[in-house]
Structure 1
Amino acid sequence: MAKFERRQDERDERRHAEEVKSRAVSFISKHYADRGLIPLCAMAAMHNDLHYYSREMYREFCCMTLEVQNRVLKYCGLDLRVAEGKKLFERCIEAVTDVLCIRFPGDESPFYDGGKYVLRSLERYGGEKIPVERINYHSTYAASPFAINPNSTSSYESCITDVLSESFRGEGSEQPISVLEYEYAFKGTPEIEACRFVTVLAQYIAIYSSKDDDSSKDYGAPGAYAGETISTMEDLFLLAVFEMYIHLVLQEKEA
């Protein structure tokens, strides 16, 4: 009887393992064209797996068991894993706020009220297309005589990345957030644009404050992998959470 029960348990384990593999492979195959967004699926599940995400890929991932979710990440060769826990977003906002307090103590933070503008990118505008792709801004490179069409507009993120990169190197303003709020008219712009500004800002503060540039771990690079696009405010929100999580929250855990 003991041998029979052991064989039965082994068969059950094999069937379970095969089912987990089948579901993981099926998910990757179905969403292969957008496989670069799989790290954002993990963020969606960790943030709120009960939220009705506009992208089917996120909803489907949230409906899978934790074991299948992490098997998907493993098969994609990622070091990222879905962890059980609560208040991921709150931890991310707290971490990025701490960075500002330490690096730029004389500056103001747009992440007040629990990062409400970042959260509204998902909860109010998640299904909407990201507004304003180009801005009237000319970086130092764009103004050089070697630049192609120096009078053209720049990507939305270009001013944010220029100002933050200089300030984090200690070569720019000691109040970079105030500078950027003025440049992007944060306090007078429509709310969806204000949400976009703060969400992108959180994303790049996390990136530029990271101390783990030489890490051998591969968490993925959503939006720069295989043709997938960050096209909605929902995508943008999850991307910002992803960058805050891998550069700030995970590093704090490993410290």
Structure 2
Amino acid sequence: MNCSDWISIICAGVSLVVTIIIACLQFWQSSRINKFERRQDERDEQRHAESVKAQAVSFISKHYSNRGLIPLCAIAAMHNDLFYYSREMYREFCCMTLEVQNRILEYCELDLRVKEVDGLFEKCIKEMEKVFHAFFPNDDSPFYEGAKYVLRSLEEYGNQEIPILYIKYRPSYKDPNMVAGKIVSSGFDGTSPYHMCIDDTLQRAKGGNHSKKTFKKMEDIYEVSGSFGIEACQFLTTLAQYLAMYGNKNSDSKKDYGHPEDSNNMNTMEDLFLLSVFHMYTELVLNGTE
């Protein structure tokens, strides 16, 4: 080989070495960038997780005295997160991200989760009406036109206090014709908590006591026959709640969705509406799919 050939070979060798060195440098630089990006992503994820935790803990702490109503916050968000709820707690919960909302429920050790459910209210009413016809097969459903009177409890009377807390009614367990009734009926003033007549009626209907006049008698006791105002809304919303509770066929479920009815701070029609939807959703819709 002449001198020119050797020069070509040397140049090719140098070029190859330089190419290898450049490739190694690029690989090293790429590795550094990837490691940096992974560290950056991990820091971002950690900051995000800390932010979610902080928001969830802050909400629970702020509303600790009303923490029993947190399940109703979830229902409010699922029903309509754009609605202007009268209770600040509901509005604040609706403004949070889905991740924060569910972290709040997780920290409260509840099995309920916020998720997108198309037509939540309509699904609840559909399932609840099945229960109504099972308990009152001889009566027409009062939940006509999409259960408009139940919906009015929120949309028209939401910020108003629940109007009736006691009714003129003697519950079955205070029946003076029964031995136990004689004992507990002493001092009975003729009134009972609002839900007692509905409770008794559904108990009897569950036992197979179906009568064409059963539902009409209940309407008369509550004095809502022919009524279209807030009293009718309270009656039908409460009835829907108890129908859901009695219609639950999966009562042995170990799921804990919360017990907002035990809260002492439920005082508005908005609270009553959300409680009713809560029971329809958890007792009939969710339990029906488990």
Output the TM-score relative to the length of structure 2: 0.83
Partner of 1:177: 215
- Deviation readout 1:10-39 (Å, 9 max, x if unpaired): 110000000000000000000000000000
Residue pairs, 1:147-186, within 5 angstroms: 147=184, 148-171=186-209, 173=211, 176-186=214-224
1:233 aligns with 2:269: yes
SS in 2 for 1:223: helix
Partner of 1:74: 106
Q: Is the 8 A contact 1:163 1:172 kept in 2?
A: no
1:213 aligns with 2:245: no
SS in 1 for 2:172: coil
Partner of 2:55: 23
CA distance in 1, matches of 2:155, 2:99: 27
CA distance in 2, matches of 1:159, 1:173: 16
Q: 2:182 aligns with which of 145, 155, 160?
A: 145
Partner of 2:284: 248
Q: Is the 8 A contact 2:75 2:278 kept in 1?
A: yes
Q: Is the 8 A contact 2:169 2:221 kept in 1?
A: no
- Deviation readout 1:187-211 (Å, 9 max, x if unpaired): 3336000000000000000001111
Higher RCO, 1 vs 2 (CA within 8 Å, ≥6 residues apart): 1
Q: Is the 8 A contact 1:104 1:175 kept in 2?
A: no
SS in 2 for 1:154: strand
Q: CA deviation at 1:141?
A: 2.0
Greater mean deviation of Cα atoms: 213-222 or 115-124: 213-222
Please identify which structure carries the higher helix content. 2
Q: 2:137 aligns with which of 101, 105, 110?
A: 105
Q: CA deviation at 1:123?
A: 0.2
Greater mean deviation of Cα atoms: 212-221 or 42-51: 212-221
- Deviation readout 1:127-151 (Å, 9 max, x if unpaired): 0000011111001222321014123
Amino acid at match of 2:245: I
- Deviation readout 1:40-74 (Å, 9 max, x if unpaired): 00000000000000000000000000000000000
Q: CA deviation at 1:182?
A: 2.7
Structure number with greater Rg is: 2
Q: 1:136 to 1:238 in 2, by over 3 A?
A: same
Q: Percent identity?
A: 58
CA distance in 1, matches of 2:212, 2:62: 48
CA distance in 2, matches of 1:45, 1:81: 11
1:49 aligns with 2:81: yes
Aligned length: 252
SS in 1 for 2:75: helix
C-alpha root-mean-square deviation of aligned residues, in Å?
1.5
